[in-house]
A = this chain, B = another copy of it.
Amino acid sequence: MSKTEQLVQHLERLQINDMYKKDFYWTWDKTDDELDAIFTVADALRDLRERNISTKVFESGLGISIFRDNSTRTRFSFASACNLLGLDIKDLDEKVSQIAHGETVRETANMVSFMADVIGIRDDMFIEEGHKYQKTFMDALDEGYEKGILEQRPTLVNLQCDVDHPTQAMADLLHVIHEMGGVENLKGKKVAMTWAYSPSYGKPLSVPQGIIGLFSRFGMDVVLAHPEGYEILPEVEEIAAKNAAASGGSFKKVNSMEEAFKDADIVYPKSWAPFKAMEKRTQLYRAGDKAGIDQLEKELLAQNAEHKDWTCSEEMMKLTKDGKALYMHCLPADISGLSCKEGEVDNSVFDRYIVPLYKEASFKPYIIAAMIFLAKVKDPASALRAMEARGEKRKEF
């Protein structure tokens, strides 16, 4: 039996009737079975592609990407996912000098979506705004489809908002599943999602939020560590706590990197900005207070500089389980002595984990493709089987 057929049989046992035609905002909107389905389809699509079997669902159609922030890897992951399924990519590059107004979003949403099957949006610049932008956009498409403006209702893939970064967190977790030899081996594993020092300012909170919101669902012991004053969205902490309770794991917050690293199986040290500062920043942007923004940046950089000891050094790594925890990062990392003087991680640590780090990233195109697949294909198990049976070669000759 092929790997794809095995995965299809697993897929058939899942309750996923609610995925068809649904958007993907946050992992915690989805049931355990639905997340399982995404991992399963991602693995199946990868298996088919490795065997040079076409995974086209669409013979034409567009995937629209909207990046309200710079991005190379997510941009290419989205493009790769669209290509895998047969969609052409068209980028909408918006200059984001200010927060978008509802009516403009509504109009843009319809104007770019006439032939669109998928919309990928990254908008993580302003806390309280990123998710709102995506929601406004997709509500406008609901209306556009109902009223006959659009021939089809495109599906959303959240490529990062102010709350969650689901394609990142899901790719990260699929990497962990493969590293640990199966989802059943995650129970009881300790994960340290910790803040780390970076010489830059204002990195998004969606990665730590996405990680604790997702990893807490698999019976793991999730520890969130950061210096005082670097709190993340309290709503997401609550979700992590509930998830942990339900899955038989735990969720804990500490203000010590050492404590988090102690005996950890997995470490994810990464810089982010304090939630309260980001809230203030949004208000300053709304008010157009340029001087206030510059002042805030200065304060935050000074605050950051007090925590240069929060770094993933060789010493810190020795504290982890057998000194060999799986080091993770969403990339690009601030590497001490390489990309900056002092940063999130020692060069020697980073260098040792380069192959797993790139593998971690390599799951993202498949995760995105699986999200699209499950939202656009009515009977995903049959479709995967039909693809395998069809056996059309991706590369001829």
Q: Which residues of A contact B (CB under 8 A)?
A: 46, 49-50, 54-62, 72-73, 76-77, 79-80, 83-84, 86, 88-90, 92, 101, 103-104, 106-108, 110-112, 114-115, 117, 143-144, 147-151, 331-332, 335, 338-339, 354-355, 358-359, 361-362, 364-365, 376-379, 382-383, 386, 392-397
With a cutoff of 8 Å between Cβ atoms, the chain B residues found around residue A338 in the complex are 101, 103
Determine whether the beta carbon of B331 is less than 8 Å from that of A111: yes
A395 to B56, CA, bound (A): 9
With a cutoff of 8 Å between Cβ atoms, the chain B residues found around residue A59 in the complex are 54, 56, 392-396
Chain B, Cβ-Cβ closest to A376: B395
With a cutoff of 8 Å between Cβ atoms, the chain B residues found around residue A362 in the complex are 110, 114, 149-150
Selected from B58, B114, B354, B383, the residue in CB contact (under 8 A) with A76 is B114
Determine whether the beta carbon of A79 is less than 8 Å from that of B90: yes
In the assembled complex, how far is the CB of residue A308 from the closest CB belonging to chain B, in whole angstroms?
Answer: 21
Determine whether the beta carbon of A115 is less than 8 Å from that of B149: no
Selected from B92, B149, B386, the residue in CB contact (under 8 A) with A355 is B149
What are 8 A-to-B residue pairs whose CB atoms are below 8 Å?
A60-B84, A83-B88, A83-B115, A101-B339, A103-B338, A143-B355, A148-B359, A150-B362
Selected from B83, B108, B151, the residue in CB contact (under 8 A) with A72 is B108
Chain B, Cβ-Cβ closest to A357: B107
A148 to B114, CA, bound (A): 37
Selected from B50, B72, B148, B395, the residue in CB contact (under 8 A) with A111 is B72
With a cutoff of 8 Å between Cβ atoms, the chain B residues found around residue A73 in the complex are 111-112
Determine whether the beta carbon of B107 is less than 8 Å from that of A332: yes
Determine whether the beta carbon of B80 is less than 8 Å from that of A62: yes
Determine whether the beta carbon of A378 is less than 8 Å from that of B397: yes
Chain B, Cβ-Cβ closest to A92: B72
Selected from B89, B104, B396, the residue in CB contact (under 8 A) with A57 is B396
Known A56-B59, A61-B394, A103-B335; 14 more pairs at CB < 8 Å: A49-B151, A56-B60, A57-B395, A57-B396, A57-B397, A59-B393, A59-B394, A60-B394, A61-B83, A73-B111, A76-B111, A147-B355, A148-B359, A149-B362
Chain B, Cβ-Cβ closest to A143: B355
How many copies of this chain sit in the oligomeric assembly? Answer: 3
A84 to B151, CA, bound (A): 12
With a cutoff of 8 Å between Cβ atoms, the chain B residues found around residue A79 in the complex are 62, 88, 90
Selected from B76, B114, B365, the residue in CB contact (under 8 A) with A77 is B114
Selected from B49, B92, B114, B394, the residue in CB contact (under 8 A) with A365 is B114
With a cutoff of 8 Å between Cβ atoms, the chain B residues found around residue A54 in the complex are 59-60
With a cutoff of 8 Å between Cβ atoms, the chain B residues found around residue A148 in the complex are 359
A386 to B84, CA, bound (A): 25
Known contacts A62-B79, A378-B397, A386-B397; is-contact A361 B111 (Cβ 8 Å):
yes
A144 to B362, CA, bound (A): 10
A396 to B382, CA, bound (A): 12
A376 to B104, CA, bound (A): 36
With a cutoff of 8 Å between Cβ atoms, the chain B residues found around residue A143 in the complex are 355
With a cutoff of 8 Å between Cβ atoms, the chain B residues found around residue A355 in the complex are 143, 147, 149
With a cutoff of 8 Å between Cβ atoms, the chain B residues found around residue A332 in the complex are 104, 107
With a cutoff of 8 Å between Cβ atoms, the chain B residues found around residue A393 in the complex are 59
A393 to B76, CA, bound (A): 27
Residue with the greatest number of chain B CB neighbours at <10 A, chosen from A73, A143, A150: A73
Chain B, Cβ-Cβ closest to A94: B72
A392 to B86, CA, bound (A): 14
A376 to B395, CA, bound (A): 9
With a cutoff of 8 Å between Cβ atoms, the chain B residues found around residue A89 in the complex are 88, 90
Selected from B103, B359, B365, B395, the residue in CB contact (under 8 A) with A147 is B359
